[in-house]
């Protein structure tokens, strides 16, 4: 019992000063649950070593449990099983749209799963305009998947998100802003229970 109380006090000390008490309460609740809190959907070649990694690290420092494939999975894990379990278990999905996002079957499949699972989606438009994300010309998929992907892209396109220009934007600011939105979204999801 003393160890758990001590751990919670340490967590509270580590939380940024700008968080209000209700954010802290959500963090207390979500950190005790077995699944990931936030699924980060991204095109690795565009964002794995930049936006996705920075966001993962920031959320992890806030004691949330983000899922980022190359950080969360370990050798021997089944790719589809791990990703599907993480999407089913998450409360919020952050979708980092980038110039080559729509070329990836896996990105589109994950986005479709998030939409079909009715997860709250927070789009980040990274070096791309929302109007540019619906081009599926380069994706090799079945007609059924094409329809799923198109529907998910339209839904995401018309969801308010963050825009970021990597050549001129402030990285710290966009990651902090995204994390704040994730925390507020988790609070909303927790409040619906």
Catalytic residues: 110
The angle formed by the CA atoms of residues 120, 124 and 125, to the nearest 5 degrees, is 135
Q: How many CA atoms lie within 13 A of 161 on its CB side?
A: 23
- Write down the H helix ranges in 64-104: 69-72, 79-89
Identify which of 68, 116, 95 has the alpha carbon closest to the alpha carbon of residue 162.
Answer: 95
For residues 123-136, one letter each, b for 16 or more C-beta atoms within 10 angstroms of the residue's C-beta and e for the rest, the string is: bbbbbbebeebeee
Distance between CA atoms of 59 and 121, rounded to whole angstroms? 16
Residue 32 CB burial class (10 angstroms; 0-12, 13-18, ≥19): exposed
The angle formed by the CA atoms of residues 162, 167 and 173, to the nearest 5 degrees, is 45
Distance between CA atoms of 40 and 91, rounded to whole angstroms? 11
């Amino acid at each position: 019992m003393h160890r758990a109380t001590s751990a919670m006090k340490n967590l509270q000390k580590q939380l940024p000063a700008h968080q209000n008490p209700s954010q802290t309460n959500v963090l207390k609740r979500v950190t005790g649950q077995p699944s990931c809190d936030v699924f980060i959907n991204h095109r690795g070649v565009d964002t794995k070593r930049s936006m996705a990694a920075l966001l993962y690290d920031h959320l992890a420092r806030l004691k949330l449990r983000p899922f980022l494939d190359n950080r969360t999975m370990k050798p021997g894990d089944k790719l589809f099983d791990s990703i599907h379990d993480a999407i089913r278990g998450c409360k919020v999905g952050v979708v980092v749209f980038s110039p080559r996002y729509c070329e990836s079957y896996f990105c589109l499949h994950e986005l479709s799963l998030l939409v079909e699972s009715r997860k709250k989606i927070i789009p980040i438009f990274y070096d791309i305009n929302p109007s540019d994300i619906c081009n599926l010309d380069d994706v090799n998929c079945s007609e059924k998947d094409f329809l799923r992907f198109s529907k998910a892209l339209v839904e995401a396109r018309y969801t308010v998100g963050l825009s970021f220009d990597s050549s001129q934007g402030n990285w710290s600011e966009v990651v902090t802003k995204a994390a704040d939105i994730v925390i507020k979204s988790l609070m909303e999801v927790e409040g619906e229970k």
